[in-house]
């Protein structure tokens, strides 16, 4: 069993903790909290041992009636791998602590790439990252782009990818973020940092990105244009992408018209928290003109990096091959949405040009 600790139990940490607890070859030793708030209560309700992230706050947990198992140092001594899910920049500050305890660490995409020996995406990074002692799971947007661009590059060769990312303003729980009444170029400079981040896992891929922030919380939307080296048909690209286990092709007849209905669908089919671990690609948007591929995809920022964290843990702490790990993660979490309404696009109807 791989013994795992999660340091930082917020949006990503709580999902990673649940996913670790679901793996047959992993044991969730515990999670940390900085203060005894609702998140700490939830961790205990779920049966997870709670550790104080800050040593001198142990008394606060006791005073609030929340029993704790120790401090973050105790957790680090008890695990084979720690998954750092702290806010951006805190992971870098935690690194000396992990080093001092000789605990292999996984960081998240909010950290600079230099925080770890290698950046990781199960579909992008090559198997040589198994030599690393620390990994950084790339961001939600980079994860979504890598999963899409890796198979396209393998099958057709990518001459150049150009992607506009319409990013959510904040997560649903982040009441203080915005914008609330604008669509803001963010960063204003073009290309954005997302393309270079893709290159941390797909180093030879030519990709430029531009990004905006919109007043939505559910998902990011990517408008993708890829100039390929060969000219497949739209149907061939649909077929290729439908074979990728972490891509979900949204069939038109499902009546899913945006992130709201996508999340509704995910919740109704029983996904925990309505999570979508897969990229969601609008099937009817997949269109090839000469060698130019166009499509829209949505990425659930709170969820898509979760299976990647599980595969990153195995990459650091087991001998399982990448594909075996991906299969196991997919099976245990139930990844691989496949709508009963999928029809390969044959049910599509033309959209009137009135908008």
What is the closest distance, in whole angstroms, from the C-beta atom of residue 355 to ligand NAD in the complex?
29
Is the Cβ of residue 95 or residue 160 nearer to ligand NAD in the bound state?
Answer: 95
Compute how many other C-beta atoms are within 10 angstroms of the C-beta atom of residue 341.
13
Q: Footprint of ligand NAD on this chain (CB under 6 A)?
A: 7-13, 32, 34, 39, 53, 85-88, 90, 108-111, 139-140, 171, 301-302, 305
Q: How far is the CB of 352 from ligand NAD (least distance, A)?
A: 35
172 vs 232, which CB is nearer to ligand NAD?
Answer: 172
Minimum distance of ligand NAD from residue 245's CB (angstroms): 20
Q: Is the distance from CB of 335 to CB of 278 less than 8 angstroms?
A: yes
Instruction: Report cis status (omega within 30 of 0) of the bond before 179.
Output: yes
* 107 three-state secondary structure: strand
> How far is Cα 75 from Cα 221, in angstroms, rounded to an integer?
37
1: Cβ contacts below 8 Å, ≥ 6 apart:
25, 26, 27
**With respect to ligand NAD, which residue has the nearer C-beta, 139 or 199?**
139
> Chain centroid to CA 95: how far?
21
Kindly name the residue from 85, 86, 140, 280 that is annotated as catalytic: 140
Residue nearest to ligand NAD (CB): 10
- The least distance separating ligand NAD from the CB of residue 2, rounded to whole angstroms, comes to 21
Q: How many residues does the chain have?
A: 355
The dihedrals phi and psi of 195, each to the nearest 5 degrees, come to -60, -55
Nearer to ligand NAD, 137 or 237 (CB): 137
Residue 86 annotated as catalytic: no
| Lookup: tokens for 122 | 């199960």
Catalytic residues: 140
């Amino acid at each position: 069993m791989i013994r795992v600790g999660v340091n930082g139990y917020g949006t990503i940490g709580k999902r990673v903790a649940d996913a670790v607890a679901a793996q047959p070859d992993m044991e969730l030793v515990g999670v940390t909290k900085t203060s005894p708030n609702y998140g700490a209560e939830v961790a205990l309700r779920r049966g997870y041992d709670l550790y104080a992230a800050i040593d001198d706050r142990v008394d606060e947990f006791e005073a609030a009636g929340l029993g704790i198992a120790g401090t973050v140092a105790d957790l680090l001594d008890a695990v084979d791998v720690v998954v750092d899910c702290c806010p951006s920049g805190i992971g870098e500050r935690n690194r000396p602590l992990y080093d001092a305890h000789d605990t292999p660490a996984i960081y998240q995409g909010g950290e600079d790439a230099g925080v770890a020996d290698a950046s990781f995406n199960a579909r992008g990074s090559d198997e040589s990252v198994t030599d690393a002692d620390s990994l950084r799971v790339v961001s939600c947007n980079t994860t979504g782009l890598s999963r899409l661009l890796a198979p396209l590059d393998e099958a057709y060769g990518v001459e150049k990818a150009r992607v506009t990312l319409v990013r959510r303003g904040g997560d649903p729980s982040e009441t203080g973020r915005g914008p609330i009444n604008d669509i803001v170029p963010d960063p204003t400079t073009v290309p954005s940092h997302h393309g270079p981040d893709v290159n941390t896992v797909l180093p030879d891929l030519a990709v430029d990105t531009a990004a905006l922030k919109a007043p939505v919380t559910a998902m990011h939307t990517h408008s993708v244009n890829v100039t390929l080296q060969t000219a497949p048909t739209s149907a061939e690209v649909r077929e290729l992408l439908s074979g990728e286990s972490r891509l979900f092709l949204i069939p038109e007849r499902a009546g899913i018209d945006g992130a709201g209905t996508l999340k509704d669908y995910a919740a109704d089919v029983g996904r925990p928290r309505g999570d979508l671990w897969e990229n969601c690609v609008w099937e009817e948007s997949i269109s090839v003109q000469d060698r130019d591929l166009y499509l829209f995809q949505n990425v659930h920022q709170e969820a898509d990096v979760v299976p990647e964290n599980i595969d990153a843990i195995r990459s650091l702490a087991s001998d399982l091959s990448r594909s075996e790990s991906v299969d196991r993660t997919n099976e245990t979490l139930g990844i691989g949405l496949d709508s009963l309404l999928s029809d390969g696009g044959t049910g599509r109807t033309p959209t009137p040009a009135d908008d």
